[in-house]
Amino acid sequence: MPIENERKLVLRDPEGRLEQALAAACPPWTRRAIRQAYLDAPGLRIRRFETPDAVEHIFSFKRPIGAEMVEIETTVSEVDFQRLWTLRGETLEKVRFHLAAGDCGWDVDFFKVEGRTYFALAEVEMPAGRDDPPETPAILAPHVILLVPRGDERFASKKLADPDYATRQMQAVLGTG
């Protein structure tokens, strides 16, 4: 069963410099636009990944089982994606930059409303059993303002889909809210 082992880092990029720097760093970073919806059942979501060369539609199941997070994904057709989209609850749009780094993978998500970034979050996917995240890539390090503790659900994408909620969380991290 695919077990997810990730750590999240809250980023501060109010002027969009990090997003611009990552766009200029492709490759080795890759960029995908993501349109995502949570379905009316625990742990189910659909995502549309778009690059200049391809579009991919994914159906996901992601739930904790015991102390571990299980994530199972499968490709679906565009027709099935559109049908499932009619059952959506929360939705979000984001731009994701990805970097494969040794045995880990870094994702940097810029949550968007009408093309404007309202929150930035990095995730590092690590091999099972690894507890401590690797060194943060140099391009990200100046923007990291919080290494999210394990099990802290404040920064789940489903919650960050609400821009007002995301703004309140950023204010709490910065001590301005």
Task: Say if residues 46 and 57 touch (Cβ distance below 8 Å).
Answer: yes
Q: Which residue has the tokens 């984001």?
A: 94
The architecture CATH gives domain 3-174? Beta Barrel (2.40)
Q: Is the pTM of this model over 0.85?
A: yes
How confident is the model over 165-176, as pLDDT tens digits?
Answer: 999 999 999 998
Cα–Cα distance between 108 and 99 in angstroms, integer? 9
Q: Tokens for 97? A: 């930059």
Domain boundaries, the chain: 3-174
Q: Any residues with CB less than 8 A from the CB of 169 and at least 6 apart, and which?
A: 10, 119, 154, 155, 159, 160
- Residue 109: pLDDT band by 50, 70, 90 thresholds? very high
How confident is the model over 112-158, as pLDDT tens digits?
Answer: 999 999 999 999 999 988 888 999 999 999 999 999 998 899 999 99
Q: Which residue has the tokens 């994702």?
A: 107
- Residue 72: pLDDT band by 50, 70, 90 thresholds? very high
Judged against a pLDDT cut of 90, whether residue 101 lies above it is answered with yes
**pLDDT at 86 (0 to 100):** 96
**pLDDT at 2 (0 to 100):** 76
Q: Tokens for 86? A: 């009619």
Q: How much is the mean pLDDT over the chain? A: 94
Q: Distance between the two ends of the chain, CA-based, in angstroms?
A: 40
At 120 the three-state DSSP class reads: strand
Percent with pLDDT over 70 in the chain: 99
